[in-house]
Structure 1
Amino acid sequence: MKGVFCPLLILCGCLVFFGSCSTVSNIVKNEFAEKNPEDILRNTAAEYIVNSGIEGEAGSWIASRMEIMKNQLSEQIGDSVLIRQPEEGLLLVFDSDQLFKQGLDNVNEAAFETLRLLATTLKQFPDTKLYILVHTDNSSSEFIALSLSDKRAKNIKKILASMGLKRSHISSEGRGFMVPVISNESPEGRKLNRRVEMAVTANHRMIRQAIKSTKATR
């Protein structure tokens, strides 16, 4: 169930967040509907959550911590970021156009406040791991897209680290246009594919704490 749930969050969430039903064409919506959820999941940030392998009481304990984090982030940056909680992790999806100007890897100055609020909340949950995946559309060559997305991911990591997050707790990767959620044939599709995904998962310390806490209550 979890393996289907996460990609559907991306599918439905992107449609709602990056374009309302009145502005996203029926062609785009139909293409989403025809997608295999497992294909959408592959190589996205949600995959880190699905593959975390935490279930049972310990998973529920971690999920409760993630819900607290989700509520805080929703209140602070929910208007500019898609935030979902698939099981024992958090999935955040940013419209890449909000963070970067076209073709540039430097983060927009206007986006710094959003990243600051994100960092402030994550610092309250130090026993977590943050995965950053940056995607582009196919308007450039594969080499340029991979290079651009990788630089963008590293710059986001650098900024969050400068705001107090441990670099060792952050993983960044650029995926170029290799993992589209939809066809790049239309402007709407390209906009949906230009995205920054972040996954927040429990690190080993939180997992140990979850197991210890659930054993103590038995």
Structure 2
Amino acid sequence: MFMFMFLKTLALLMLCLITPWVSADESDHPLLSRYPNAEIGKWLYTEYEKVELPSGPVNNEGNLHADALIGDLTRIRYEIEGVSTFKVFENYRNALKTSGAKLVSVCELRECGGKDSGLLDLAAGVAGGRYYIGNYYEKPYFARAKLESAQGDIHVGLFVGGYDGDVWVQQVVVEEVPSQNTLISVAKDYLSVKPEQAPSGDQRTPEEKQEDHPMMARYPGARLSKFRSVEYEKISLPLSVVSPEGTAPVKLDLIGDISQYTYQAENVSTLKVYQNYLQAIENLEFSLDYSCELDECGGEDASRKLGQRMAVTGGIENYFRNPYYFVASRNAPQGRVVVAMYFGGFEGDVWIQQAVIEEKGTETDLIKVDADQLYQEIQQSGKALVYGIYFDTDSASVKAESADALKAISDLIQSHPELNLYVVGHTDDTGTSDHNLSLSSRRAASVVEALKADYAMESDRLEPAGVGPYAPVAGNESDDGRRLNRRVELVRRL
């Protein structure tokens, strides 16, 4: 009974260890060459992964001891024709002994059990499903070994199974490495004075620096897949994954400028990426408001939903395995800054969902939108500044939140039938001048169309125009200045 429990638990642990797989630059591990004429069926390398490697035997309660390890993980499946599992296993065992490895655990043939012990599920997991495994679980052998090196301990797991004179070898190598959590560069002065240069130690290309948020560089080697930036938008961030029955989930509701990113990193664990971003957040002196790791983030369904909530497009495909998530915040002169990040893995790669929210005061607080106030300004200076007409970044579509400002302009026109106006769009000075000039013209035209459609304005009383960044009312060096420059003006037209 103990042997049955040992083998079944062994199979489950090895299944977790050696799946899933992904094709990559396939090569033998430097420690062990392949058996002559063996071909690689599957190969996967993952940096700094957390694994549990069984060492056996079971204790008196029938439980299997397993060592929790963190290290660089290499998994290889070899396929060999016309040879016995015994011959292959003996060659591997001899190679390990010759290298000075300590054999921690070994089982042979019946000691390893048959398909009823869970070995078939183990082999099927390696291949990607029972359909692909055939019968390569017969005449099994297993060995666990440990070697010492100057860089750290190296652990090897080998499972050898055969069918009809052929053999599949499942090889796992875990190289223990110290934590490396200082890979992400940050710009601390972003939270006080916006930096003119990239963070020190930054290895990104000029294009990558332009794509990333100025406060925080991407994980080294990661590729930006999706990006979204919205001015003055609402967002709700989960601060709990599993709530007590009958209670609503805890959420953090925010309003501010939102920048969202989806990055893809290859051959690395979610753990390593997560730890590096946590260190970056600590370097920026943020407070950690909430975090969850692995099972704390709920089961597969909860993890998938959490990732989808954080994703730019709402989709994360299969990248919700081994999840990590955190929300952190700190105060800055411009307002509170909140960073939320979700990390999900699949087949040795990681998708990083990042959101940076910079809280702002209500833009309608800049100048109260009121028909009488607008008319007084026009009488005094020939123009009136209008805030509270909202657009998404780089979009000319008027958002629904603009209704109060549009209603004030409509009231102004209806109350003063003699008044004809230019509706003039303005932008800040970020981006190229030509693009901003075009954007401001399209936004002004959208405002006029919205007034005609929703308030039945006469077409000859309103004429749209755009001047881009050429008539600022404040400097563009600060957030507050750029915010003032993004406006619509009503100019008296004779």
Task: Give the TM-score of the pair, scaled to structure 2.
Answer: 0.23
Q: Which has the larger radius of gyration?
A: 2
Task: Give the TM-score of the pair, scaled to structure 1.
Answer: 0.50
| Relative contact order, higher structure (CA 8 A, sep 6+) | 1
Q: Which has the higher helix share?
A: 1
